[in-house]
Amino acid sequence: MNCKTKKTLLIAGPDDDEHADYVEIIMSQRGYLVERFQSSQYPVNAYITQKLGDGQTEVTYSCGKTNIVDKDFSLVWWRQYTGFHPALDSVHPEDRSIVDFEHRIYSRQFPYQFASNSKWVNSPRGEIDGCNKPLQLRKAIESGLVIPETMITNNREEAVSFLRKARNIGKNVIFKTLISHQWMIRNSPDDYKLGLVYTTRVTENDLVDADVFRICAGIFQYEVDSAFEVRIVFMGDNYVAISHNHREHTDHELDSRRRPPVAGSASRYILPHSVQKNCLAFMRALDLRFGCMDMLVLEDGSHVFLEINPQGAWLWMEHLCSEIKLLIPFCNFLEDGYVSEEDFVRKSNDLIYKDYENNFLYKPKNKRFS
């Protein structure tokens, strides 16, 4: 590959990611050569080789017919990095813990060693720190944002105390895992759905025995009595947001991901200046240039921070809110490092993201749309 004559984009993510597919369509139409780096294929189906010496470094990823050299790419979009997944069946039982630990450490360190001269969205540090929910909450407080009353613990007695305190003041408590989990539930090769761990109300009766409880910490928070939810996508210093999941509506859910995605059911939302300022301070504290943030808005207009996903989903926002667009602004942001607020406004002749698969002949190399 000759980078001097070709614009290049590397997307870290699987071949069945809708966001990556549509971004690949647009960027390819703009003259970019686009490749996918699928970390989950290593080491079972892929090889990674690092060469260092004579003042030079080079990382090569080989998977089937795909051969990627990190220095060939001017842009890197770290869309979904899942780390490395060794197959331990062929490893001696006494060595499996060592191999597994090696891969976990290599997975964590690898982004810092890869494509170091490329422009990233987001930086390796931002991606890693931004996925750390306890760190998110700390940085949110330091940045002036309000968060729900929270306890993170693997101590059952502490959790019981938190639940009883909430009950005494008439509050429900919700539970979240430390990281987001999703998996494919397959009934047959052609019949499958996505499994998710949802935010859930918990009581003292829901807690497992102390010996099991201590195995893994979890996040307990007072449930916030909100008027509606806000989803905010930050790109650099600008953002676009929608209000949705209104409590007064019959389809309101504790976890908005359970709601059916009804077209036109959301409206564009403008953050108060003070909240926007604190959000941007939070983004800088985590070294994030891009992120999808969730907040709750109370009846009195105050805003409560829930969490941010450095590479969360955002195409669905175009479907729910006819006032905005995100696919083209995001591609502009990838390319230029900047997007204006006006770029998010959908004009009458603008396509929504699903239209692009029908209006361009190009299809992503890793997938064909059904």
* Integer Cα distance of 43 and 24 in angstroms: 25
Domain span holding position 67: 7-121
Determine, yes or no, domain membership for 357: no
Query: In this structure, are 343 and 230 located in the same domain?
Result: yes
How many separate domains does the chain show? Answer: 3
pLDDT of residue 250: 59
Same domain, 157 and 237: no
pLDDT at 287: 97
The domain spanning residue 277 has which CATH number? 3.30.470.20
pLDDT in tens, 61-83: 999 989 999 999 999 999 988 88
pLDDT in tens, 266-294: 999 999 999 999 999 999 999 999 999 99
Q: What is the pLDDT of residues 99-157, one digit of tens each?
A: 999 999 999 999 999 999 999 999 999 999 999 999 999 999 999 999 999 999 999 99
pLDDT confidence band for 51 (50 / 70 / 90): very high
Q: Residue 124: name the closest of 183, 180, 69, 83 by CA.
A: 83
Q: Give domain status of residue 327, yes or no.
A: yes
Do residues 156 and 148 lie in contact, with contact meaning Cβ atoms separated by under 8 Å? no
254 or 188, higher pLDDT: 188
pLDDT band at 183 (very low <50, low <70, confident <90, very high): low
> Do 168 and 128 share a structural domain?
no
- Cα–Cα nearest to 78, from 41, 130, 26: 130
> Do both 128 and 66 map to the same domain?
no
Give the span between the Cα atoms of 327 and 353, in whole angstroms.
6
Mean pLDDT of 223-244: 95
- Report the share of the chain in percent with pLDDT over 90: 72
Instruction: Give the residue from 223, 240, 260 where a domain finishes.
Output: 223
Position 251 scores a pLDDT of 62
To the nearest whole number, what is the mean pLDDT of the chain? 89
Residue 31: what pLDDT?
94
Q: What is the DSSP letter of 204?
A: G
Are 129 and 270 contained in the same domain? Answer: yes
Structure confidence at residue 370 as a pLDDT band (50, 70, 90): very low
